[in-house]
Amino acid sequence: MTILSGKARLAGVLGWPASHSRSPRLHGYWLRQHDIDGTYIPLEVSPEDFPTAVRALLRMGFKGANVTIPHKEAAFAACDEVAPSAVRAGAVNTLVFREGRVLGSNTDGFGFLESVREQAPGWRADAGPAILLGAGGAARAIAAALLDAGCPRLTIVNRSIGRAETLAREIGGAVEVASKPDLAQAALLVNSTSLGMVGQPPLEIDLTPLPPHAVVADAVYVPLETPLLAAARRRGLRAVDGLGMLLHQARPGFEAWFGISPEVDAALREFVAGDLPRAA
């Protein structure tokens, strides 16, 4: 049992609800691993109470917090200062409280890139065109990260063309919009929708046109092996699950709050995924 001192560092995750978040399990693992005098707790805060709650945590001595659904856009407005990553993503998922100020950043794009690099060694964003399925919050962070890392061309595919066009216009750069993915030249295919998640319809897509060197990534991690990833592996393609993005996006916040740069390894992955379904 962890016993905290009066100097314990405090952080948590703000959500509505917060009970679904795996962040307490993830950060709790690192806290125990490094024997840190600190804790990370789920904080259920309604949308109408969110701005007040952020300032209350700051005054209570918290070091910061993660932000999850539905607060990421509200968190942007609650910050005194936002990092370029948050401006590009249009949302904040990590708050750091420092010298009476609320600093916001978005680590989702960082987490995505690090996850692909880990699970598909040798992959580079500038290796070729990428196709991004979806135009929601996760898509925006992933799109910005890919373009900033050198992706030569990004195609956004979404059921609502208007929403995809808005995202493309706001992100800027080498971005185009399509109603159907043209996979023949793609070096990377990313699913940022909820399709394939437990309780959701599967993602219906034929991966046959993808080149043999292509990487297929899924932001979904419940189940760990989505039908999309299973189809990619059957074709001999490199597949990247969504759990890695979750694990890696947590690293910058943990370092800012608790003063140690944590590692993502097999033991952490197994612990966080301990009760997740392995396949659909």
> How would residue 280 be classed by pLDDT, with cut points 50, 70 and 90?
low
pLDDT at residue 197 greater than cutoff 80: yes
User: In the block, which residue shows the tokens 């942007």?
Assistant: 76
Average the pLDDT over each of 127-131, 136-140, 210-214, 236-240 and give the range with the smallest value: 136-140
Tokens in use for 75? Answer: 């968190």
- The pLDDT, as a whole number, for residue 137 is 86
Q: What is the pTM of this model?
A: 0.95
Three-class secondary structure assignment of the chain: CCCCCCCCEEEEEEECCCCCCCHHHHHHHHHHHCCCCEEEEEEECCHHHHHHHHHHHHHCCCCEEEECCCCHHHHHHHCCEECHHHHHHCCCCEEEEECCEEEEECCHHHHHHHHHHHHCCCCCHHHCCEEEECCCHHHHHHHHHHHHCCCCCEEEECCCHHHHHHHHHHHCCCEEEECCCCHHHCCEEEECCCCCCCCCCCCCCCCCCCCCCCEEEECCCCCCECHHHHHHHHCCCEEECCHHHHHHHCHHHHHHHHCCCCCCCHHHHHHHCCCCCCEC
From the list 7, 63, 72, 180, the catalytic residue is: 72
> How would residue 1 be classed by pLDDT, with cut points 50, 70 and 90?
low
Between the alpha carbon of residue 172 and those of residues 47, 64, 107, the distances in Å are 30, 31, 20
Whether 160 and 135 have beta carbons less than 8 Å apart is answered as: yes
Identify whether 72 is a catalytic site residue.
Answer: yes
- The pLDDT, as a whole number, for residue 167 is 94
> How would residue 28 be classed by pLDDT, with cut points 50, 70 and 90?
very high
pLDDT at residue 126 greater than cutoff 70: yes
What is the pLDDT averaged over residues 250-274? Answer: 97
